Amino acid sequence: MEESNTQEVPQSEETVLITEQEPSEFKATPSAIGFPMPDDAPDPGTCIRVERPESGLAVVTFDSPHRSFPIFDAPLLRDLDAVLTELEDDVTLKGIVFTGRHPGQFLAGADVEAIQEITDPILVEQAVIAVHALFDRVEQLKPRTIAAVGGPVPGGAFEFSMACDRILLVDDKASRIGLPETMLGILPGWGGTHRLPRRIGIPGALDCILTGRMLPAKPAKKRGLVDRLVHAEDLVRVASDIAMGRKNCRRFSRGIWKWLIDRNPLATTIIRSKALEGVDSKAHGKYPAPYAALDLVLSAPGAVRSTWAAREAKAIGTLATGSVCKSLVGIFFASEAAKKLGKRADGSEPARLDHATVVGAGVMGAGIASSLALARVNVRLGDLSSKALATAISSHRKEVEKRRRRKRLQPNAANAAIDHLVGVEGLLGMARSEIAIEAVAEVLHVKASVFGELAEQLADDAILATNTSSLSVTAIAKDLPYPERVVGMHFFNPVKAMPLVEVVRGEETSDETITRTCALAIALGKTPVVTRDVPGFLVNRILGPYLDEAVRLFVGGADVERVDSLMLNFGMPMGPFVLLDEVGFDIAQHAAASLHAGYGDRMEPCPGLSGMGDDRRLGRKTGKGFYDHPKPEDRKGKRTVAQDLASFQTESWASSLPDVEITDRLVYAMVGEAARCLEEKVVKDESTLDLASVFGTGFAPFRGGLWSHAQRIGLEAVCARMSELHSREDVHARGGGADRFDPAPVAARMTE
């Protein structure tokens, strides 16, 4: 991978333009940086080390002592200002290498906590302009500058790297580089919307910025985000050789294409139209960041350099202080907190689980087993049906092959993923398993029997995890010899797509079992949420009233497409009737019966689903529900509203309800149950409930989650609206379910 020549690094046209630019009109000072200084801020000069291993070379290492992973917070920016002054004054320097404390760690980008705290757009603009000034000074350094980076290089860390003459990235599976800011409701504000399109062109920059995708090493090199890949052990040495001119490293160049595309009005008009279509299809006008980024990137090639900071600062000031950014950052913090669930109280991590058993080769069991195998866990999938096993193995192979085709798996990894999954008729040969996950029928004695048989084979510290969605984990563990090892591990369907796993604590489940189970969920790329062992746990408990209200609206005469469209506009990923078709009427009725048994009249289900037909009408899996669904082989087919729905609508009161009334009935049904969940401590706190509502129910992320949405509306407004809904004639006429709109639990929780 190394080059042995000793040619000087050629000064490309881009480099000449950069070095001849006028100095920035801004001067960063510690007071102008604008970010709040953390309580544990170290002494000035301690966040960055400058070493001079040879004459003419400076190696600048970011090594903040107060951070396990350095970020561009106020102390580091303060010290960077001082270091740049030192480098600017040193006329003996020929090359400078900027790097992290080790090859697998550079910088984690901007201080997200600071973004969350700042509420004044003017302060945000000042902070952005101050950091721009620092990065401009890096770009204007006369010595050759090399960013030698590895591991995750997100956002501001990548923007800093682009201010250097060359970027070297460690060729390792842990390396990722990109601009994920739009995922947090902002945009790359430290030069990213200008430097990246100039580096790789408008089309490539739009793809990176609008998707927020972090690219692995080889794709990043191919697309021009970095200039060279190196082995970890060679990173600083090769970077030093390039900085000193002993090795050649050509900068990525698009040649004539930057003139034919980036500066061609016709081409940019076409690009804008296609990009806007893509943004609309995903953001639906609810997320302002992609739209703002689109405008900045498209106009970047013609932007005057002196306006870069002001353009990005204005956009960031508006976005960073808006509700969408605050909501998305809140979800980010909650998801980061969930990652810590895989560690013990003392910070140590449990040993990786390498061998697993999955019992039940149905849709859920097959999906769980496949996910485990793709995560390099050796899995034995047990079932009494050879046909079910064959179907599960075939589905797993198809998934592996699809990932191989899309280059998400290398050939060796793909072969290993196939080898990791073995089908077994029965429950023999499971002794090596460190965890057994059952996904059999939702019948208490069946699940307990499976665990009883497995407990005789498994080691004394093996975990017994149930994928139940409606049964009590405590009841399943009741007669087992090791109840402390029994835990709920509730995946959602489809397993490969749904990011949430509810880890359910039974009355005797140990902390160690919870931690090890959460660690496994994280290893699978899932987000764990620990819940109490109550009927419906958390997600199904708050989703149940929502779906039941939808069925009541339908029976009352509401138009199915209208209701689904209203909830799509609210921000849900699909309407409630599409969701019911996806879940299946039989599954939905079973879950509703479980909630009714657990919570009484408040959860009494509307009989609308049971009156719609028989086993031939269960939703998408039978081709007919609220919608008629195309056959699986008909890839171009589209679902259409079933033509016989009117025959199941026995009333007409809901047909004339205003849009806001329909939306509020569905949303406030969830809010009321969420308040009860918080009071009963079903989950740890409000942010955990928000995270679960977004990752489990698809609740609109730009609203911050279910409880954040209620808090943003406010106590008085929420309670007043729920009281109005509670007093509706049709609500009082119900046999049950009216109490879900009782504002008292919401008022108690929000007042607290």
Question: Rounded to the nearest 5°, which phi and psi values hold at 101?
Answer: -70, -20
What is the C-alpha to C-alpha distance for residues 487 and 508, in angstroms, rounded to an integer? 9
User: Which two structure tokens, joined as six digits, stand for 624?
Assistant: 């007919």
Question: Using N-to-C axis directions, what is the helix angle for 744-751 and 706-713, rounded to 10°?
Answer: 80
**Which one-letter DSSP state was computed for residue 141?**
-
Residue 746 identity: V
Cis peptide before 494 (omega within 30 of 0): yes
Task: List CB contacts of 410: < 8 A, sequence separation 6 or more.
Answer: none
User: Which two structure tokens, joined as six digits, stand for 60?
Assistant: 């600048």
What is the maximum span of the chain, computed from C-alpha positions, in angstroms? 88
Q: Which of 194, 420, 490, 629 is catalytic?
A: 490
396 among known catalytic residues: no
Say whether 200 sits in a helix, a strand or coil. Answer: helix
- 10 Å CB burial of residue 302 (0-12, 13-18, 19+) is exposed
Question: Rounded to the nearest 5°, which phi and psi values hold at 53?
Answer: -70, -20
What is the C-alpha to C-alpha distance for residues 52 and 74, in angstroms, rounded to an integer? 25
What is the C-alpha to C-alpha distance for residues 101 and 531, in angstroms, rounded to an integer? 38
What is the C-alpha to C-alpha distance for residues 488 and 469, in angstroms, rounded to an integer? 9
Task: List CB contacts of 132: < 8 A, sequence separation 6 or more.
Answer: 24, 26, 190, 191, 308, 309, 312, 313
If residue 418 lies in a helix (H) or strand (E), which one and from where to where?
Answer: helix 411-419
What is the C-alpha to C-alpha distance for residues 580 and 190, in angstroms, rounded to an integer? 45
How many other C-beta atoms are found inside a 10 Å radius of the C-beta of residue 252?
A: 19
Could you list the beta-strand ranges (E) of 214-338: 214-216, 228-230
Task: List CB contacts of 387: < 8 A, sequence separation 6 or more.
Answer: none
CA 130, 131, 132, 133 dihedral sign is positive
Positions marked active-site: 490
